[in-house]
Structures are given as C-alpha cells and as structure tokens.
Amino acid sequence: MTDKKMVETLIYTKSESLTELGTHYCPGCTHGISHRLIAEVIDEMGVREDTIGIAPVGCAVFAYDYFNMDFAEAAHGRAPAMATGLKRVNPDKIVFTYQGDGDLASIGAAEIMHTAGRGENITVIFINNAIYGMTGGQMAPTTLPGQKTTSTPLGRDIEMHGFPMRMCEILSQLDGASYVVRRSLHNVANIRKAKKAIRQAFEVQRQGLGFSMVELLSSCPTNWGMTADEALKWVGESMVEAYPLGDYKVSPEIKGMKKGGGG
Amino acid sequence: MAKGRIVVKEMYCKGCELCTSVCPQDLIHMALDQLTPKGYHPAELVDPDGECTGCAICAVICPDSAITVYRMVPEDKVKTTTA
C-alpha cells in the first residue's frame, strides 16, 4: 500500500440529461435502464443542446418528461415519420426516436420500414419486451410462441396468431439501413454492451452515415407476472434464444469508424 | 475504512430489488422498516465491515437512477466517470 492521500470521489450519479422527475414505470422495468443509457451517451457526447428526441405511444409516452432535452410526441407508430421531418429541416441536430414493440413493429411497421428504406439519417431505439405493456399485457407482434398474455391466455398459438416478427433481421435487409443491432438488458455485462451500441448508433448519425437502430430486449415484470429479477432471467433464457443478439447490419463505412467510447 | 459507499435516493427507489441481486459483496438489502414517499421499501447499504468497493454495478442495473456511488480514489487520480 502506498501512503497516497485518498479522497472520496463521486463515481456515479443520475445523468444530467434526465430530469429530476421520478418515472411512472413499474418497479424493475427496463425502460428506466434504456432511458439512463441514452441519457449517459448524450452526456458523454456533449450533444444535449443539439438533440431532439421523439416519444412514442405506449409505456414510454411520457418520455418527454423524463429526458432533459428537446422532445416531441408522435402519433402511435409515427415517430420515424416525425423524425424524418425534424432531421431534414434540422440536419445539424441529433434526432432519435424511442419506440416500443407495439409502436414500432405493429401500428408503425410501415413508417419504420420506409424510413429505414430511405436511409434517413436518424437513430431508432427499439424496446422489445414481447408484450403490449401500457394497455394491459396483450399479445404483441413480438410475443414468443407459447407465451401467455391477456389476449392469448393459453399461450400464443402460431397456427392461430402467426409467428413473432424479428425487426432487426427484417430491417437489415434494406439497403438504406446502415447500423442495425440487437442488444439485451438482462444483466450488467449486456447493459454495458447496449450502451456501447447506442453510442455507436449516435456516432453513425453524427457522421451522416444513415439509418441506425438499436433493438433492446427488455422486461415487463408486471404483465409477465414475475418479479423484476425473474423477468430479467426470462429475458436472458427465453428472449435471447428467440431474438439472437448481434450486429445484423454494419455498413462498410461504419466498420472503418473508430469504435464508440463509453461503457 | 470502506473503499466505497452508495446513497439510495428514496424519492426514486421503487424497491425492485435488482441491486440486491447483483451486488458482488451482497451488501444491499431492502429496508423493511422504512417506506419511501411512493410506498415502497427502499434498498439500503448494510456494510458494517466496510466491504463496499464502490464498483457501481448496482448503479448500472438500477432502472431509476436511484443510486449514487462514491469511491475512495488516490488524490492524483480523481476524475468522475459514468458507469
């Protein structure tokens, strides 16, 4: 041991890009973790004054109250269309949308598809928790086969209700998409990887390289009928199997970029 | 003396217990004799032997940014980072 003088230092505190308001999310909901990661990335990049977020309809509908920056609220599923307009008239701003699976994969399927197809220079944070949270836990397009929801009490039957949609795989097929990756929030190591991916997505936009999307596998303890800890375990066991993590599309220009910092 | 300590802001803590499950030293427990303004039992650091290292893993998993982490750092290496 050295005899250096030790001083107590602040290591971690709530991000400046989040407001003082406590969120309305249920205990253990990973929306809070995703909000935090986005806020920390914006802090680290120093772009809070130049960022415009777009809130969805769904549990995150009040995201504009929680982020301490410019925010707009879009009609259900139309966040990518709104982001297109905002980015085209403010090309020097960072524009991101924050959307759930009901918003992005169901009612907003057309908007996300065409926004990615046009290669709009925006960032999409896609929260996939395999259920409609706000409306009471009904089946979403991302619900796993056999998963019980309030509208599929016997479990999702693929003959009756079809198959889950894997948005990363679908969007990665579009030439306009530049950076499409899937990460998970079920443990600390994966949360750190998710933060790096969000940083990379924002850097892609900052350098004008086109459409970027980060899908985050998330939990919904209340509607899954689990404790917060059980819900994260279920994400790690069942959801990661159905929605494999990975980089689905990384355009050649991005591969030459310096890796995003943070984490 | 402990290398680190955490402060749980009761205004934000919703008692989800995720921090208790990830603490490598198993030092975070629910304060069953306390209630937050929202009516949850908050998490608290129980560290009589000064084992907290200030690793901030609890802060990384906390969905509500309720945890503030402090760590003892040599004077010449002081810099604030995010987890």
Residue B58 within any structural domain of the chain:
yes
Query: Residue B22, SS3?
Result: helix
Sheet holding A246-250, edge to edge: A70-73, A51-55, A94-100, A123-128, A211-217, A177-184, A246-250
Task: Please identify among residues 56-75 of chain B the ones whose CB lies closer than 8 Å to any CB of chain A.
Answer: 56-57, 59-65, 67-75
Q: What is the CATH number of the domain that holds B50?
A: 3.30.70.20
Cα(A31)–Cα(A104) distance, integer angstroms: 15
Place of tokens 């409609």: A132
B interface test, pick of A127, A188, A220 with most B CB neighbours within 10 Å: A188
Answer yes or no: do A27 and B16 touch at CB < 8 A: yes
pLDDT digits (tens, 9 = 90+) for A183-211: 999 999 999 999 999 999 999 999 999 99
Q: Where along chain A do its domains lie?
A: 31-255
Answer yes or no: do A12 and B63 touch at CB < 8 A: no
Tell me the pLDDT band of B74, cut-offs 50, 70 and 90.
confident
Q: How does the average pLDDT of chain B come out, rounded? A: 91
pLDDT at A150: 96
Residue B81 within any structural domain of the chain:
no
Nearest to A10 among B11, B18, B70 (CB): B70
pLDDT at B81: 57
Residue B79 within any structural domain of the chain:
no
A interface test, pick of B58, B65, B78 with most A CB neighbours within 10 Å: B65
pLDDT at A259: 57
- Give phi and psi for A237, each to the nearest 5: -90, -50
Task: Please identify among residues 6-45 of chain B the ones whose CB lies closer than 8 Å to any CB of chain A.
Answer: 9, 11-12, 14-18, 21-22, 38, 40
CB proximity list for A89: less than 8 A, separation 6 or greater = none
- Which of residues B78 and A21 earns the better pLDDT score? A21
Query: Residue A2, SS3?
Result: coil
Q: pTM of the prediction?
A: 0.94
Instruction: Identify all chain B residues contacting A232, using CB atoms and an 8 Å cutoff.
Output: 18
What domain count does chain B have? 1
pLDDT at A5: 84
pLDDT at B27: 96
* pLDDT exceeds cutoff 60 at B2: yes
pLDDT at A1: 53
Which range of residues forms the domain containing residue B19? 4-72
Question: For domain A31-255, which CATH number applies: 3.40.50.970, 3.40.50.300, 3.30.870.10, 3.40.50.620?
Answer: 3.40.50.970
* pLDDT exceeds cutoff 80 at A162: yes
- Give phi and psi for B16, each to the nearest 5: -75, -15
* pLDDT exceeds cutoff 50 at A261: no
Cβ-in-10-Å burial (0-12, 13-18, 19+) of A76 comes to middle
Answer yes or no: do A13 and B69 touch at CB < 8 A: yes
pLDDT at A165: 95
Residue B37 within any structural domain of the chain:
yes
* pLDDT exceeds cutoff 60 at A82: yes
Q: How does the average pLDDT of chain A come out, rounded? A: 94
pLDDT-wise least confident of A5-9, A162-166, A224-228: A5-9
Cα(A239)–Cα(A233) distance, integer angstroms: 9
Of A20, A23, A27, A53, nearest in space to A38 by CA = A53
The nearest CA of chain A is from the CA of B27 a distance in Å of: 17
Rounded average pLDDT over A127-134: 95
* pLDDT exceeds cutoff 80 at B46: yes
pLDDT at A255: 84
Identify any residues that bridge with A183 across adjacent strands, giving them in sequence order.
Answer: A216
Q: Please report, as a single letter, which amino acid is at residue B64.
A: D
Tell me the pLDDT band of B80, cut-offs 50, 70 and 90.
low
Tell me the pLDDT band of A262, cut-offs 50, 70 and 90.
very low
- ipTM greater than 0.95, yes or no? no
Cα(A100)–Cα(A18) distance, integer angstroms: 19
